[in-house]
Structure 1
Amino acid sequence: MVRRSRGRWAALLVVLTLAACQSTSTPKPTSAGPSAPMANTAGPLFYTKGGSLYVSEPAGSPGRKLTDGPADAQPAPSPDLSHVAFIRKTTASDDGGELWVLDLSPKLEPIGPPRRLVNPGEVDSSSGGHTPQVGNPRWSPAGDRIAFLETTPTPAGSLLTAAADTGTVLVPQQPVWADNHYAWAHDGSHIAWVTGRSDVRPATVSVSIVGGASTPVATGTNASSVTYARDGQTILFTNPDSSWLAPATNPFTLRTGGVYSVAAPAETGATPPAPTPLFTRQGWTYSDIAALDSGAVAFTAREVVRGDVASKAIQVLDKGSSLPRTMITDIAQMSICQDTPRGGRVCQAVQGPAWGAGDFVAYLDSSPERSLVVTDLDNRNPKQIDTGVDSFAWAPPSR
């Protein structure tokens, strides 16, 4: 997610219009009933609402409650589905909490009560005087470690990993201050990440050896999300357009919006090659990148217009294509904001889409109910699972 001053967007932005991407209609989601689950190979979808953890199995069927809170969020199922990690918070408004794990049977039934894996108070803290908390867990494809951010009141933090069996935290050789969009390498030995920030400034895309050193692979970018390509040797990242910003005050070297690729470093400290654009487009912001089983690349896109009111869409760059197509035209925005009685505004971050095996996607729609919807790559027969959902995740592929 890219965070910027709204006023600066409104005051400085000049929208440059290029050819419109091919779009598809968005069928109205239908409620999934017990007799009509979505026929897919994506596996179960875990999600949270009202402070409890649920599973939709098969994905598209009504959710089944797994925990009772008090404020469980941010599920991260293991590759073999024998566990699901999550963040247990004291209250829903907390930025983070403790890292807990629930053991599951082959039928995805809880095996005993959940257990705390990481107590933030016992982690070597970099919270700067704030109450220690962790968040944004990601289970490694190897199934042996869980990565997470030691959180602060910003959507960034120290990127750490813990042993999945003991909770022992491994601190990297070099501090890693990462945005909440980061990605495991396919073999679980490296993590790609983007510099955490809270203003319009250049960011670095880097790769860290788990417990070791980091190597930058792209500098001077406006990167907002990162992932590994299907080959495992290439890193993909989204770059929201910053061409409208004055170079003297915002010295980006990669300014044009789009999706870029760069080779993963062969060795620590190696000089990275220049990023290669998969496509570029000025006047648009991009995030939530995912490499799909079909070879396509998916992401969210939003045209930045005066007043910041453009809808957010899911777009797909199909394998062999030079321009993306719009798959779903209107999903939940990057934040939901409400006016306070004293004239201020409080904004709650909204999770972007999550892609599972077989190129199935889960996303929150733009309705007031914030419905969780599952559909396939061509948006055929979308299924509404539940409403009021705040976080959700598929299991990573087992490697």
Structure 2
Amino acid sequence: MRPIAADDVPSALLSLDGEGRITDANAVFEEWTGLSLAELTGRPFTSLRTRIAGIGGRSDGFVRLANVDGSSRPVIVGSRVTDDGELLVLVDATERAERELELVRSQTLQERTRNRLQLIIDSSIAFSAATTEQELVDILVGTVAKAYQAEQVAVFLHDDTGGFAHSSGSNPLRDPQQTASLVSQVSALRSVVAISGTTEGDEFSPVLGQAMRDAAMDAVLVSPIQHDDVLFGVFVAFFLHPRTFDSEAAPLADALSNQAAQAITTLRLQRQLEHAAMHDETTGLPNRRRLETQLLEYQRSVSTLVATLFIDLDGFKRVNDGLGHHTGDLLLREVGRRLQATVRQEDLVARYGGDEFVVVCEVPELAAAADVADRIRQAIEKPFDDLPEGFPISASIGMSIARTEDPDWNPDRLVREADHAMYSAKNAGGNRVVGLPVA
């Protein structure tokens, strides 16, 4: 068997003198550096080393060997001291370096995924704790800014006009038309839009590209806030620094938007339930429960004279029996509108039940309460467009008045006394007001 020559091994071999200069090298080393032995001889080995490579920038036992063409090769270096200097063995570590790089990427992705999962969990808890939509969208702005390190974030929600209103955060777009264009286009797409650079902005929309240049923005991330095909609005993250978006950027935005949309749905449902619990379904007026609560709130006032008017409709039973409940409901709704139009906005108009209504208002004196009661009687006595001739409607009104400083202030007593006075008006022939003196 012949001796193994230096050029037979797949590794690079080289000899260094006592000062670290190359004195000899095999063909593999020449190939890896792109230099001939003549060019290598006398050259310091350190001049061919570039940076240390490894996971996270740490040294893991190999260095990079530079080639004259600008490329480099990760190698593991072994050495042995000789009488003349040092013998080095360089083993190609390309595969190991690639595996370590992939490991770094995997670890980075796992860490990013854990952080984003925790962010989603934290935001879910924060959203569920919000008691108003304003509080909720403020939380969304802060969460998005943290999640993407965005300089500015804005939330736009649907308003009563069918457009979008700026509800929270800051919007760097100078032209309202630019904002409207961006929001409306993303709303129509119903999907997350991530744009890096003004060129992509121009491709999405020339208006957006120009808007980005005007505001010195480099990137934009827009997500519709929607749940079960119901669109509530959008959030927009604005970036003033160069920003590219990884594969998880859109799913994260979608998750945050969906959480916010679910929370908005819950808040609005709660408001509807609370409104239904405190309001009459037929007329939309506050109901008996809300009336009792409001009367208790009047007790907090200082030395206020409060009039409670109990109103019963004369002739309503004939309408209900003769024309049907549908016509009766229309009549009740119209009575509710007339009552609200007759009193002040701050006064309380409630449906007590059946054809009975209660009005509560602050008055300076007994005469003022009597004046309000008579205006109500006259308003109800006027003809109703939905009723044919022969179905006259009027009101029997009972009035109770008390001062809030009265130690015996009792909402039940006030309503009960007004109710008794109403029966006196009814028994006297109806279409009149019967009042009680100040308690």
- TM-score, shorter chain, exceeding 0.5: no
* Higher relative contact order, chain-length normalized (CA < 8 Å, sep 6+): 1
- When Rg is computed on C-alpha atoms for both structures, the one with the higher figure is 2
Instruction: Indicate the structure with greater helix content.
Output: 2
TM interval, short-chain normalised: under 0.3
Instruction: Indicate the structure with greater strand content.
Output: 1
